[in-house]
Amino acid sequence: MKRIFFIAFLLINMTAFAQTEKTGNTPKKLVVDFFEAFHAQDTIKLKSFALDGIKMQSVSMDAEGNTKLSSDDYSKFLKSIASIPADASFEEKLHEFRVEENGLLATVTTPYLFYFNENFSHCGVNSFQLVKFNGEWKITSLIDTRTKKNCD
């Protein structure tokens, strides 16, 4: 009898895990979907991935070698994506995904190379902070680095 309960327990857990994977309800999937919407300039989808009041920051070095931290509103980011001319091309090529998930919190980092009109612009690393609300991952913070050095 204990064996039957144990086997049933395993089957229920495997089914629940498979459903989560099938629906794509993972931190990595959210970031992949984010970049698909980003490249498609789909600001409605981009807005749906983020929590209201998302914190956006970027880290870079100025001409004197000082670290510069800038912050921006997500709404300004969405407007900038929507304003890219149709004849312009842009691509953020991601190298890998590093995912740390712990219950309701996840961090996804993605090293990248960014191209505008097929010309290299800059490289860096994106770091997404995600929180799971009612079973759905949302971006709460996004910080990136930007440089033109050591991009290989």
pLDDT tens per residue across span 9-41: 433 444 444 444 445 689 999 999 999 999 999
What's the confidence (pLDDT) of residue 4? Answer: 44
Domain ranges of the chain: 25-145
Tell me the CATH number for domain 25-145.
Answer: 3.10.450.50
Least confident stretch, 10-24, 73-87, 113-127? 10-24
What would you measure as the largest C-alpha separation in the chain, in angstroms?
Answer: 72
Helix H or strand E encompassing 7 = helix 2-23
Task: Read off the DSSP letter of residue 118.
Answer: T
| Cβ proximity of 99 and 128 under 8 Å | no
pTM of the model: 0.81
